[in-house]
A and B are shown apart, each in its own frame.
Chain A
């Protein structure tokens, strides 16, 4: 879809530079050849899917709203939310540590990111799940000092806990970079003005810096949430009953492997689509005051994206916010 708009713009802008008449016609013809080629491939792929015997669409529908599948979907959502919240909290803490002037805090945060970003997520998940064989008992206390309570690790590390730790701690390493970049993107003058007004560093961070950093933080975080949602499928390896593990359990008995994988895929697609839409509205909220123009209404926006095939619709993450009519100019060509 986007290619159409781009091709025409390229053709139009190329025209005056070369010999008039022939070049635009050739470019246009080449454009059509590419379009037809792409269309043929797409039709071929879709028809293969729709008509394949091994796909068994009736089986897909049968399992789509199966109780076990729905429970799996719910577990996936729950795990995504918990791990993402944990990841954000850790990420924010690490970012603040890295931005502090303390050498110790900097080193600790740096080491954390180094370890958690430098080892595979799957290995980390397995590590947490098998923590018991490394630390048979978990205790709360002061190192080399008194102990306040202790409990066998295996009782504490359920698949849900291991999955949360694995996904959340790993996410923290990535989120710390996103938070740090976001905070650094806010002009130094903002914290100076806050300080001059008598705000403490904490107040300035909460009220002034972070809300403005959000514009930079939200788009990549949206991508992280979507990655996380898909990443939860990794914990099927430790028998956590999320979506993928659930369909695996079903097809291991019925051998309807492909239809059930399609069921899982459709659910993943539905969830990621919902997330993309949510991301769009959150980004719109944090773009307050970012442009001189008043924000267009949702209806206006839908019309703009629909007509002009704008690059920042629901399903992509706009780097720059609200459209200001430039898209419409392009459309009138």
Chain B
């Protein structure tokens, strides 16, 4: 952790991580899905999360914006505890409207895109800025067009999601999440539902965002992508972080037996969901 001197207050403070997970635990019945996850993500950092199917990757990601409520542990984004607040020494659920406000800082992209099927591409993108953030429609539309250009989808404003290929839909979903100017973006297997030939177009948009300094947590099975783009790779198995470090360590020279096994299976071409 680096130290910086604030030019206004002239005080020296440690820069705090943008996203902090502290001791996350979650179980479904007797199944421990998350078993004490601790993680700190710095501003601008790109973290790729890999691991076998059912290891708890999605659950961990969904805890960050409280789509899933952890049984124990805390999530902080930019210092603010997500989804709960302290009352008389205990953490209790935040009111729904507060949680909704917190979620505007956390963008999420789903495996199944989840675009709003009854709205055009443009309507999908401006929905939250207009209805949630209260932006003027004109302004939101201008920004939406910029974002569409950014994800290389100019001219698709008036298409309906079903008229687009999977890769195009996923890029619209990315633009829709970016429209809220989130501090961090979560990606849950964004290319797993795509035809092989459209995977590349989504990954290259994500690489672009990474190069621009967006903070991203990405669950992926694209090992090559993780090697190219990630600042840090995290291997999860059985709801625990088994190994983490730069791609050169975790992917090129994994230390743990489970990581080695997983990676060799992935390289063997056996893809998992």
Segment of B17-25, B127-135, B141-149, B234-242 in the binding face = B127-135
Residue on A nearest B111 in the bound complex, by CB: A189
Q: Does B168 contact A (CB under 8 A)?
A: no
Min CB gap B160→A, angstroms: 4
A289 B132 Cβ-Cβ under 8 A: no
A192 B132 Cβ-Cβ under 8 A: no
User: Chain A residues near B97 (CB, 8 Å)?
Assistant: 200
User: Chain B residues near A196 (CB, 8 Å)?
Assistant: 65, 67, 103, 106-108, 177
Residue on A nearest B120 in the bound complex, by CB: A289
User: Chain B residues near A200 (CB, 8 Å)?
Assistant: 96-97, 100
From B103, B106, B177, name the one whose CB has the most chain A CB atoms within 10 angstroms: B103
A288 B101 Cβ-Cβ under 8 A: no
A192 B128 Cβ-Cβ under 8 A: no
Distance, CA A190 to CA B119, complexed state (A): 12
- The dominant DSSP class at the A interface is helix
- State which of B103, B120, B127 has its C-beta within 8 Å of the C-beta of A195: B103
Q: By the criterion of a CB under 8 Å from any partner CB, how many residues of chain A are at the interface?
A: 23
Min CB gap A96→B, angstroms: 15
B100 A199 Cβ-Cβ under 8 A: yes
User: Chain B residues near A189 (CB, 8 Å)?
Assistant: 110, 112, 114
B100 A290 Cβ-Cβ under 8 A: no
Can you list, as one digit per residue, whether each of A62-84 has a CB less than 8 Å from chain B (1) or not (0)?
A: 00000000000000000000000
B163 A292 Cβ-Cβ under 8 A: yes
B162 A197 Cβ-Cβ under 8 A: no
Segment of A158-166, A205-213, A311-319 in the binding face = A205-213
A195 B67 Cβ-Cβ under 8 A: yes
User: Chain A residues near B116 (CB, 8 Å)?
Assistant: 190, 193, 208, 212
B96 A207 Cβ-Cβ under 8 A: no
Q: Does B118 contact A (CB under 8 A)?
A: yes
B-binding residues in A (CB < 8 A): 187, 189-190, 192-193, 195-201, 203, 207-208, 211-212, 286, 288-292
A-binding residues in B (CB < 8 A): 65, 67, 96-97, 100-101, 103-104, 106-108, 110, 112, 114-120, 127-128, 131-133, 160-163, 173, 176-177, 180
Q: List 10 A-B contacts (CB under 8 A).
A: A189-B112, A195-B65, A196-B103, A197-B176, A197-B180, A198-B101, A203-B131, A207-B131, A212-B116, A289-B161
- List the 4 shortest-distance A-B pairs measured between CB atoms, nearest first: A289-B160, A198-B104, A193-B114, A189-B114
